[in-house]
A and B are shown apart, each in its own frame.
Chain A
Amino acid sequence: MASQEVIREEPSRGSFINDPKVRGIFFQAVVVILLVAGVWWIVHNVIENLQRLHIASGFGFLKNRAGFDIPVRPIAYTSDSTYGDAIIVGLINTLIVAGAGIITATIIGFVVGIGRLSRNWLIRKICTVYVEVFRNIPPLLVIFFWYSGVLAVLPAPRDSFNLPFGSFLNQRGFYFPRAIWGEGSWLIFVALLVGIAMAWFVARTARQRQMATGQQFPVLWTSLALIVGLPLLAYALSGFPLSFDFPKQSTFNLTGGFQIGPEFLSLYLALSFYTASFIAEIVRAGILGVSKGQTEAAGALGLRPGSILRLVVVPQAMRIVIPPLTSQYLNLTKNSSLAIAIGYPDLTAIAGTVLNQTGQAVEGVLIMMVVYLIISLVTSAVMNVVNARMALVER
């Protein structure tokens, strides 16, 4: 009896030092102290350096006149605008190139990814070569290749390539006619919105009906007719209010029309082609991840190959595909900061210029980091919602 009690009492607590809880608290306290000390040391150094060197600090400079021009201006901006405006222009430019890149990369990626699983040997090999080439070279190199290797050796504005519909291609970029909306053209946009809304409604009703009765309805063609037809109808009704501003030769450049510079084109093409190679691999893995039994079962139910792909394979593959796809979208957005190397005025490039004109390095870099962080968080959040909706399909 006594010996048992001894065993129970003595080692139950052990040494105070060996208690994992105490150790944990002690260790964390050390970490906190080190961190606070480190941050204090850095802040102290920064303040001292700034004071010693008489460098201005604070974000007040954002309200000052910028004084420099930006080549690509999606919103009204002149050299009289503020540094804050300039950074917003940069942010919008980043979003434009990232958005366009994401769409194109997804399309190319899906085509190539499915192509790698094609029964056609030649298609399979071409897609494999594409993926293995683009995945293994730095994106910056792809950008330079498009910029210095392809677009820079196009002809000068005087000898532009004439393309159909009054568009031109030369080393200054791609020019195409700009639509000028005349009076009453708002009707067309309203018609477009109505068309989209109706198409959505039709699709919903059709699905409900199919679920309930099994009857199918040609959703695709109806939607297309609605989305294209309604605006066309409105266009005719409002008396053809659309005219075009065609690019024309002038002393230096082509003027008029709409111009897409080679900087944007190279960045956009490079990001699309580079990211597409990763998306292709993700799509391939996703499709391979759907077990063969699913396809066979769908076939046994009498579905046609197209329907099998659309109704059985893709919805399941998407669940595997979306999480890695999200990180590829984020990568593309982050890689758009490579714009700085070829002079496309994205957020990094403009924040860099602002940093340089004002000399406020700390603030400039902080703005860059915070804005990218916000973009990343928002993209992740959106993709998480999509992912959650996709996951609901599982029963």
Chain B
Amino acid sequence: MQEHDTSWVRTEMALAQQAPAGVRGPLAWVRKNLVGSVGDVILTVLAIALVVMIVPPIINWAFISAQWVGPDRTVCATAAQGGIQPDGWSGACWAFVNAKFGQLMLGRYPIEERWRPILVAILFVVLLVPLLIPRVPRKGLNAILLFLVLPIVAFVLLVGGMFGLPHVETQLWGGLLVTLSLSFVGIAVSLPMGIVLALGRRSKMPIVKTLCVIFIEFVRGIPLITVLFFASVMLPLFLPAGVSFDKYLRALIGVSLFAAAYMAEVIRGGLQAIPKGQYEGADSLGLGYWQKMTLIVLPQALKLVIPGIVNTFIGMFKDTSLVIIISMFDLLGVVKQNFADANWATPQTARSGLIFAAFVFWLFCFGMSRYSMYTERRLDTGHKR
């Protein structure tokens, strides 16, 4: 019989060994992700070719050859086109964007009054940022300031005509100011409208339900342009003689009606996702219809559809660019309007202006969609299976 020495017992975990050389390190990553099979190799080669074909010219065009400042078109035109650049030059004309920056942001808002929209923008950012960061306290006060006080302040500041501020017609508004104000007021109007429509569509009253269904399906079946045409050429005929709306307000009505129909469908999705027990529970507590909805159902439903609401908002934000078709000048409109400026007419102007506008739109939309995804994860309270 052999004696075993059992006095040694391993008391700590064995150290994890490194993975085999074949599955770690950059080389293995490349093998796994880029050249896993023959097909992969071909795809990788094609993709690299694509990237090499596209990226360096874009970087060269947008940064290296780009012209950042300049008084007029000469800096962005080649010698043959009457400029100072050598023939064959091709680069972005950021000088154009630079020169027109004020207009792109605020349109023809009078220069001496421009502090007003800028102040509104600063207030907006100052109030919005803490609201977006979950850790900052006093959300309630913040929300009240942002959603109730700021609109009034912004209205007074932007439109003017009171407290000694000169009136600025909405005709003079333009650029990002129009894009942002249209979409923010639009969402503020279309959200409650959408809630009412969604409740109406799920209502047990047949007439109310039919009307809501007709409105929602009708608006969703036609393009926004026809709605804007409706608002700009038909609406004036609907009103008695001598009463007319401002063009901005008409566009706002068109955009809000349009967004409300989409919003209603998003919210309906949320309402349907609330378990029947919640409705019945509210009924059994003796709550009336509106109490049931505002206290029990809507808070849950709205939370569920935040991503949908944000998506609708992003869609609306992009759609405001259509007001160009009824001769209002949002960011894209101002960019396009300035193509006509003979002082800046070069082959690069259109491209540069459009890419700048695209970048601004992209920044807002991408930011919003990312924030919505973040919120979605944070608010995920286990409704999903």
Contacts and interface: CB of A to CB of B under 8 A. Distances in A.
A and B bound?
yes
B239 A45 contact: yes
A140 B332 contact: yes
Nearest to B234: A365
B123 interface: no
B205 A24 contact: yes
B332 A120 contact: no
Interface in A315-368: 330, 334-335, 337-338, 340-341, 348, 352, 355, 361-362, 364-365, 368
B223 A372 contact: yes
- Interface size grouping (class) on chain A: 35 or more
15 contacts: A24-B204, A119-B40, A120-B33, A122-B34, A126-B50, A136-B366, A138-B321, A138-B332, A144-B350, A334-B222, A337-B226, A340-B325, A348-B223, A362-B234, A368-B222
A376 interface: yes
Contacts of A384: none
Interface string B208-240: 100100000010111111100110011001111
Contacts of A182: none
Contact of B237 (A27, A49, A122, A377): A49
Interface string B301-313: 0000000000000
Contacts of A141: 321, 332, 354, 357-358, 361
A143 B132 CA distance: 34
B139 to A, nearest CB: 28
A165 to B, nearest CB: 24
A330 B229 CA distance: 20
Contacts of B224: 334
A385 interface: no
- Interface size grouping (class) on chain B: 35 or more
Nearest to B40: A120
B318 A139 contact: yes
Interface string B60-88: 00000000000000000000000000000
B47 A136 contact: no
Interface in A1-47: 24, 27-28, 31-32, 35, 42, 45-46
A32 B207 contact: yes
Contacts of A31: 207-208, 211
Interface in B123-154: none
Interface stretch (A145-153, A194-202, A232-240, A387-395): A145-153
Given A122-B48, A362-B234, A365-B233, A137 B226 contact: no
Given A122-B34, A148-B339, A148-B350, A138 B225 contact: no
B143 to A, nearest CB: 27
Given A119-B40, A120-B43, 14 more contacts: A32-B207, A49-B237, A126-B47, A126-B50, A132-B366, A137-B361, A137-B365, A140-B322, A144-B336, A337-B226, A348-B225, A355-B233, A365-B226, A372-B221
